[in-house]
Amino acid sequence: MLAHRTSVQERLQQYWVMAFGLAALVLVANFWIARNGAAANPYAVLLLIPVAAAMMILPFKLGWSITVLTVIAQLGQLYIHSPNQHAMDMNHHYQAMVYGQVFAMLLLALTLHVLRRTIVNQERAIKRLHERQVRDEQLVAIGTAAAQFSHEIATPIQSIQLLLDEVATDPAAVTEIQQQTQRIHELLLAWREVAEAVREGRQTRLSIVELEQQLQDSMMLVRPDVDFVWQRGVVQQEQIIADHTLVPALLSLLHNAADSCQGNPVIVRSEIFRNNWQLSMINDADAPSIPAEQLGQSIQKSARGFGIGAMLSFVSIERFSGQVHWHHRAGQTHTQVTLPLAQS
């Protein structure tokens, strides 16, 4: 707040300096013109330039002050004898030149005032539109994360429901219930952190190796029934720039691959290619009825995770200048995520 107030004060000071400079220029120019032909001097038209500059650069009140000062100085030319007309005192032609100059100044000032007012209103409308767009993007990001976290929470809740049925016969199930409850608690804390990061527009450098390990640990915990084959080829120092919504987006894609793997292993390949991190997921699956180029572009009707889940992941990854591509080949579905590496 203090920095903003200082910036405003500095800007006002600059405006006043420019206003005094233009006022001095107007007075000096009028004095020189008065000594060299007054309104009959062809260079008198150059006095339109300070008026135009004042109306375009200065605040409206200061701009009109410079305009009024210039008009008064011009009207003062009516009391100056034209050197080319020694025999006559201020004939009608000379007065018409002065009034014409004044009319031109006022017309120019009014035109620039209306034009600048229109530009200012348009800039305000664009600013409001930008703020609304940022707000909508934040809502989309939070909504995306909420949908993905709900997917994560569904698994421990289902496990708890099954374990509750076993408590009567197996007291050891209570420990498992506590573990699943702790998992839900951790997910809710993570969700709070994600919402706060999105609200503040906070992005950080994420280690790809740590990110890979986090994805692997999550899938081992949540989907122990699926055999994931991890092929990791990334060194320790390589990083990407993103926020915490990236993790649930990638987990959602891994869940999609696990849901449609038909009991076969899911191959997850991580590598660096052309200054990008590529995470590929390969699973056995029938060809989807949705064309590959439409996956993730909009909500599609799909029972194997290519509908709303794919779209939410696509939107989240796109926020970090990433891309998601799907294609089907030889009875396998390939999901490829590409994210740019952070520049050192």
- Round to whole Å and give the CA distance between 328 and 164: 41
For residue 323, report the phi and psi dihedrals to the nearest 5 degrees: -140, 150
pLDDT given at position 343 = 80
What CATH number does the domain containing 319 carry?
Answer: 3.30.565.10
Pick the more confident residue, 247 or 157.
Answer: 247
In three-state secondary structure terms, 291 is: coil
Domain holding 278, by residue range, is: 204-344
For the record, the structure tokens of 46 come out as: 């150059």
Q: How many domains does the chain have?
A: 2
Helical pair 60-75 and 48-57, crossing angle rounded to 10 deg = 170
Q: Which of 130, 154, 187 is the last residue of a domain?
A: 130
- Global confidence as pTM: 0.49
* 285, part of any domain: yes
Residue with tokens 């509750």: 164
Does 222 lie in the same domain as 337? yes
| Residues 80, 41 contacting (CB under 8 angstroms) | no
93 part of a folded domain: yes
Q: Are residues 115 and 210 in the same domain?
A: no
Per-residue model confidence as pLDDT tens digits over 99-147: 778 888 888 889 888 888 888 888 888 887 877 776 666 666 666 666 6
In a domain, 182, yes or no: no
Please tell me the distance from the alpha carbon of residue 63 to that of residue 51, in angstroms, as a whole number: 7
Q: Where are the alpha helices (DSSP H) in 201-275?
A: 208-222, 246-259
Per-range mean pLDDT, top range of 27-36, 180-189, 281-290: 27-36
| pLDDT tens digits, 50-88 | 888 888 888 888 888 888 888 888 887 777 654 444 444
